[in-house]
Amino acid sequence: MRIRDRLRISPLRHLIPLRIDGYLIREVGVPFLGGLIFLSFVFLMFQLLRLAEYFIVHSVPVPTLLEIIGLMILSFLPFSLPVAFLIAILTSFGRLSTDSELVALKANGVSVTRMSLPVLVLAMGVGIFSLVLSFDWVPWGELRYRDLIIKVGNTKATSSIKEGTFTTGFFDLLVYTDEIDGKTNRMKHVFIFDEREPKNPLTIIAKDGEVLPVRPNPGQAAAIVLRLSEGNIHRNDIKENTYQRIDFDEYRLYLSVAEGSGGVSRRPRIIRQHDLVKTMEDPATEERWRMELQIEYWRRYAVLVTPLLFVFLGIGFGTFRTRAVRAGAAIVGLATVLVLWGLQAVMTTAAHKGWVSPFVASWLPNAVLGAAAYFGFRTATW
């Protein structure tokens, strides 16, 4: 007896690939890619004003602008992948149900459980890809995006300075100027208070000033030079209790990109998995920071299971007969995602307050989703 014939009478006979498997994968895969493109497009629409500012105000070259767009899409992928996959399942199985194809498949001996097998394989691929993204690619993309935006922003550093107004956050300086030309980066009657060294603050007054970007690459600035002319520096040494005044014809203040960042807040999302685990195990790590790292650690693994649960939820609720399949899929998908994100936010807050462990906070939303998926899968009408 041939191996294939033996499989037909064995408990593993349901694992034999059928032509219907490829058909179901195509039915889910096509709307999945379409939904992913649509969600990425919607996300970029919210960033349109920022992208226009980079291109118009900062004169960012097209290759750099395309890199920024790519990094934006990369950072959004861990969220858009499961959402697009859920909408794809709801849409595809809703269409199959509306066209009575599910009834025909069941009449030919293909059970609902058997139909879910190829979709589960696809879901596993989506989950693994999301996991890899969360481990390394997204943290790398977030750091690259942050550095790139800082460098691009410094090419037109004066865009953050308003004439006649005291401006804070400009390379950690307090700046005031009577007039400013955004095209030439020139300023008149400049006042600067430099408190980067709290024990030795500086007050600089100049007749004219000019911001000169240092560009190692086209469209990027690793630093800027603030060139001041005809002014004086007032230095007050608090420790020595002394005052000093220095007059100058020209004074250049070098400001690096790190200073221009305005300080980078720590976020577990931008930490690679290896570094995240290493920091968690470090005894010197602050307890509250360790808690946030543990929540992020388990959340990344929870991403692997979410698409699998979406298979049963999507098949269950997607087979309800509706006239507007795509509209119904979008509504159910959006409602599911909003509830899931709301639960994640509530559980994260509960973990920060010490009510639940980071593991429970990360996995309880999936448990609730699993219960809803089981109910939908069992009670759906066919």
pLDDT at position 133? 93
Predicted confidence band at 374 (pLDDT cuts at 50, 70, 90)?
confident
Asked whether residue 280 falls in the same domain as residue 366, the answer is yes
Asked whether residue 223 falls in the same domain as residue 255, the answer is yes
Query: Number of folded domains in the chain?
Result: 2
For all residues of the chain together, what is the average pLDDT? Answer: 81
In a domain, 166, yes or no: no
* Chain-centroid distance, C-alpha 206: 42
In a domain, 228, yes or no: yes
Are 164 and 175 a contacting pair, CB within 8 Å?
Answer: no
Select from 199, 229, 260 the last residue of a domain. Answer: 260
d(CA 290, CA 287) in angstroms, rounded, equals: 5
Predicted confidence band at 180 (pLDDT cuts at 50, 70, 90)?
confident
In a domain, 1, yes or no: no
Tell me the average pLDDT across 291-295: 91
Asked whether residue 138 falls in the same domain as residue 223, the answer is no
pLDDT at position 7? 41
Tell me the average pLDDT across 110-124: 88
Tell me the average pLDDT across 290-304: 92
Assigned token pair, 177 = 């100027």
Kindly give the interhelix angle for 112-132 and 62-98, rounded to the nearest 10 degrees: 170
Q: What single-letter amino acid sits at 235? A: R
In a domain, 177, yes or no: yes
Asked whether residue 135 falls in the same domain as residue 185, the answer is no
**pLDDT: is 55 or 206 the higher one?**
206
- Which residues are CB-neighbours of 26 under 8 A, at least 6 positions away? none
In a domain, 219, yes or no: yes
Predicted confidence band at 263 (pLDDT cuts at 50, 70, 90)?
very low
Asked whether residue 24 falls in the same domain as residue 143, the answer is yes
Are 176 and 191 a contacting pair, CB within 8 Å?
Answer: yes
Tell me the average pLDDT across 348-366: 91
In a domain, 189, yes or no: yes
Residue 359, number of CB atoms within 10 A of its CB? 15
**pLDDT: is 320 or 270 the higher one?**
270
Asked whether residue 131 falls in the same domain as residue 202, the answer is no
Predicted confidence band at 198 (pLDDT cuts at 50, 70, 90)?
confident
In SS3 terms, the chain reads as CCHHHHHHCCHHHHHCCCHHHHHHHHHHHHHHHHHHHHHHHHHHHHCHHHHHHHHHCCCCCHHHHHHHHHHHHHHHHHHHHHHHHHHHHHHHHHHHHHCCHHHHHHHCCCCHHHHHHHHHHHHHHHHHHHHHHHHHHHHHHHHHHHHHHHHHHHCCHHHHCCCCCCEEEECCEEEEEEEEECCCCEEEEEEEEECCCCCCCEEEEEEEEEEEEECCCCCCCCEEEEEEEEEEEEEEECCCCEEEEEEEEEEEEEEEHHHHCCCCCCCHHHCCHHHHHHHHHCCCCCHHHHHHHHHHHHHHHHHHHHHHHHHHHHHHHHCCCCCCHHHHHHHHHHHHHHHHHHHHHHHHHHHHCCCCCHHHHHHHHHHHHHHHHHHHHHHCCC
pTM: predicted TM-score of the whole model, two decimal places: 0.71
Residue reference for tokens 């030439």 = 184
Asked whether residue 244 falls in the same domain as residue 282, the answer is no
- Which residues are CB-neighbours of 264 under 8 A, at least 6 positions away? 146
pLDDT at position 264? 42
Asked whether residue 91 falls in the same domain as residue 113, the answer is yes
Asked whether residue 255 falls in the same domain as residue 300, the answer is no
- Which residues are CB-neighbours of 372 under 8 A, at least 6 positions away? 313, 336
- Which residues are CB-neighbours of 187 under 8 A, at least 6 positions away? 158, 161, 163, 177, 179, 180, 181, 208, 209, 210, 211
Asked whether residue 30 falls in the same domain as residue 128, the answer is yes
Q: Is 57's pLDDT higher than 70?
A: no
Weakest mean pLDDT among 28-37, 80-89, 162-171, 284-293: 162-171
pLDDT at position 43? 87
Tell me the average pLDDT across 90-99: 84
In a domain, 211, yes or no: yes
pLDDT at position 260? 46
Asked whether residue 181 falls in the same domain as residue 216, the answer is yes
196-215 CB burial, b ≥16 within 10 A, e <16 = eeeeeebbbebebbbbebbe
Q: What single-letter amino acid sits at 146? A: R
Weakest mean pLDDT among 13-22, 112-121, 145-154, 342-351: 13-22
Asked whether residue 295 falls in the same domain as residue 336, the answer is yes
In a domain, 330, yes or no: yes
Give the percent of the chain with pLDDT over 90. 31
pLDDT at position 244? 86
Q: Is 85's pLDDT higher than 90?
A: yes
Assigned token pair, 22 = 């490829």
Residue 245, number of CB atoms within 10 A of its CB? 9
Task: Show the domain range for 178.
Answer: 172-260
Residue reference for tokens 């858009």 = 80
Select from 260, 293, 320 the last residue of a domain. Answer: 260
Select from 234, 260, 286 the last residue of a domain. Answer: 260
Q: Is 221's pLDDT higher than 50?
A: no
Are 134 and 357 a contacting pair, CB within 8 Å?
Answer: no
Sign of CA dihedral 328, 332, 337, 342: positive
